[in-house]
Amino acid sequence: MNNFLITIGLCLLHCSANCQYTIEFKPILNGQKLFLDSADLYTVNSNEVVISNLKFYAGALHLVNHKKQKVKTDSSYHLIDLAKPESTKLQLEFQEELLVNDFRFKLGVDSITNVSGAYGGDLDPTLGMYWTWQSGYINFKLEGFYATENGNREFQYHLGGYLNPFETVQEIRLDILTSKKIVVLIDLEKFLKSIPAELPDNIMSPGKNAKLLSELLVPIFSLENE
Amino acid sequence: MNRWILILLPSIFLFGFGAAELSQTKIEIKYPSNWPKPNYDFEKKPLYKERVKLGRKLFYDPILSRNDMVSCASCHLSFTAFTHVDHALSHGINDSIGTRNAPVLINLAWNKLFMWDGAVNNIEVQALAPISHASEMGNDLVTLLPKLNEHDVYPALFKTAFGEEKITSKQLLLALAQFQLTLVSANSKYDKVKAGVLKFTEQEANGYKLFQQNCNGCHKEPLFTTTEFENNGLQPDANLRDSGRYQVTRMSKDLFKFKVPTLRNIQYSFPYMHDGRYNNLNEVLNHYRADQELNVINQQNKPVIQITEHEKVDLIAFLLTLSDREFLFNPDYGFPRN
């Protein structure tokens, strides 16, 4: 009984202040924080670039301990929308102090959720992340343009698709956490530079191009101060 | 005294909301005991009378289209097996012509995928396609939902059906799905023969035998479809350039595959095929007959059946036993008059 009380006491003590991880998604371009619709700020391959829209789903958030055991899972999907700064910050709360090493999440919506009917909340089909002509969520949406000598060259990447062999959901693993304040950098310069030149500027349906670009998204996620 | 009224008033409201939820009545679809289990998970998501009623009203209401002119029923008319007869390709808002023949809405609870190419994977999200398609209803949910929320009648109906204050896309889609899930056709002469109530004529019985030998592989009893996708050897239309299931899967094995339609109520659902190219069953059977000239493209996939002209008549006589007038004229499926 005493042990039980001590355990409860410890939990209460721990959870009073420290049992919360905050996760902030921070897109960057040229090493600087990204602002939407900002001209004259960023360049990619010597062209000025303007980003007008960045939205993506983060789901199955979990923290992993040094024994590679999942210690905390948040099964819901979160729509991260740069136009809504509050959506870029998430919190994970605990009942007790945990030794956590890694932070992992799914970039995009898994196939089971994709085939399970109508959802509300962050998965509401009115949020611009659901295709209407073909069932399925857009996992990652990036829109903008390059200002070139010949005028603006627009690009639209609506990456999604849940059917094999073109399933696009990715797992992002960010190892060795040192702080409870997790800042996840998203390096869009790295992504835009890695896109093969022969691909079209508008990729807006599932298929091999969407799959290829989704795979190119994985290495652009990193922890700040890594 | 005034203080008591202030305390009592919210309680009455709370009870009111509780009653709205409690008034929802679970219902079940009826189908013959030898049928397979529906694909839709009714245990997880049961039908409610109030949601079905609401879905039916929405199904017949052109408010879903951008210009208040086109309803679901415009292309899916109950008396004609919930399809659009007389038009090879269905037409929608501003007389736009689509690229496909509106499919029948029959026994949808047994389907895994929807649309001719299976682009829609759950009946709950199916309505998004016609509502948003530029040639069908030309609308979008972001425009439609405020219109419904400000409507004279709908907020109360949604509240009764879902017990929530605000109309959401999820509720709208669920209500439309719930009504369509009730569209069960299982009272044709064929069903009555199977149940031992009626008998086939000699001609129908011969047609049934021919059906089992030649057609049952794809149009499998008792639903008269496997609900899978097949290439039936139709020459692709050069203008429509419709590659069917391939458009969804991007797999070459799915080129020119379309969903096997049910043959139930086939008498009423003309014209036939995904592009409505055949006007009558005679033409359809001629397509499948061996003595017809094979198409230049796509012929290797054509299922060929060998029947005489006389047998063709018998086969059609059997197909007519799949007509279900109780389904076509079911007062629960028609335009809601009150």
The DSSP string of B229-281 is EE---PPPPTTT---BTHHHH--GGGTTBEE----TTGGGS-SBSTT--B-SH
A164 touches chain B (CB under 8 A): no
pLDDT at B275 over 80: yes
Query: Chain B closest CA to A44's CA: distance in Å?
Result: 32
Contact A145, B201 (CB under 8 A): no
Amino acid at A99: L
Over the stretch A25-66, which tens digit does the pLDDT of each residue have? 999 999 999 999 998 889 998 999 999 999 999 999 988 887
Residue A21: its pLDDT value, please? 84
Question: Which chain A residues touch B120 with a CB distance below 8 Å?
Answer: 134-135
From A118, A134, A208, residue closest to B124, measured CB to CB: A118
CB spacing of A120 vs B122 below 8 angstroms: no
From A114, A120, A132, residue closest to B129, measured CB to CB: A132
What is the arithmetic mean of pLDDT over B22-27?
84
Question: Which chain B residues touch A166 with a CB distance below 8 Å?
Answer: 250
Q: Is B188 helix (H, G, I), strand (E, B) or coil?
A: coil
Highest mean pLDDT of the ranges A130-134, B106-110, B249-253? B106-110
Question: Which chain A residues touch B248 with a CB distance below 8 Å?
Answer: 134, 163
For A101, A139, B148, B325, the CA distances from A62, given in Å and listed in that order, are 11, 18, 39, 55
Structure token pair of residue B59: 């199904």
CB spacing of B248 vs A133 below 8 angstroms: no
pLDDT at B40 over 80: yes
Question: Which chain B residues touch A208 with a CB distance below 8 Å?
Answer: 250
pLDDT at A218 over 90: yes
Over the stretch B140-167, which tens digit does the pLDDT of each residue have? 999 999 999 999 999 999 999 999 999 9
pLDDT at B224 over 90: yes
Look over chain B and give the mean of its residue pLDDT values, rounded to a whole number.
88
* Structural domains present in chain B: 25-185 (1.10.760.10), 189-325 (1.10.760.10)
Question: Which chain B residues touch A163 with a CB distance below 8 Å?
Answer: 248-249
Percent of chain B with pLDDT over 70: 89
Residue B79: its pLDDT value, please? 85
Q: Is B136 helix (H, G, I), strand (E, B) or coil?
A: coil
Q: How far apart are the first and last CA of chain B?
A: 44
Which pLDDT band, with edges at 50, 70 and 90, does A175 fall under?
Answer: confident
What is the arithmetic mean of pLDDT over B272-298?
79
Residue B22: its pLDDT value, please? 53
CB spacing of A124 vs B168 below 8 angstroms: yes
Residue B17: its pLDDT value, please? 42
User: Which residues face B220 on adjacent strands?
Assistant: none
CB spacing of B128 vs A125 below 8 angstroms: yes
A128 → chain B, closest CA residue: B142
**Helices and strands (H and E) in chain A: how many:** 4, 13
What is the arithmetic mean of pLDDT over B228-255?
91
Best residue of B128, B136, B253 to probe chain A, by most A CBs closer than 10 Å = B128
Chain-centroid distance, C-alpha A170:
10
Residues in CB range of A121: below 8 A, 6 or more apart:
A76, A77
A 10 A CB-CB count for B19 gives 11
B128 → chain A, closest CA residue: A132
ipTM: 0.83
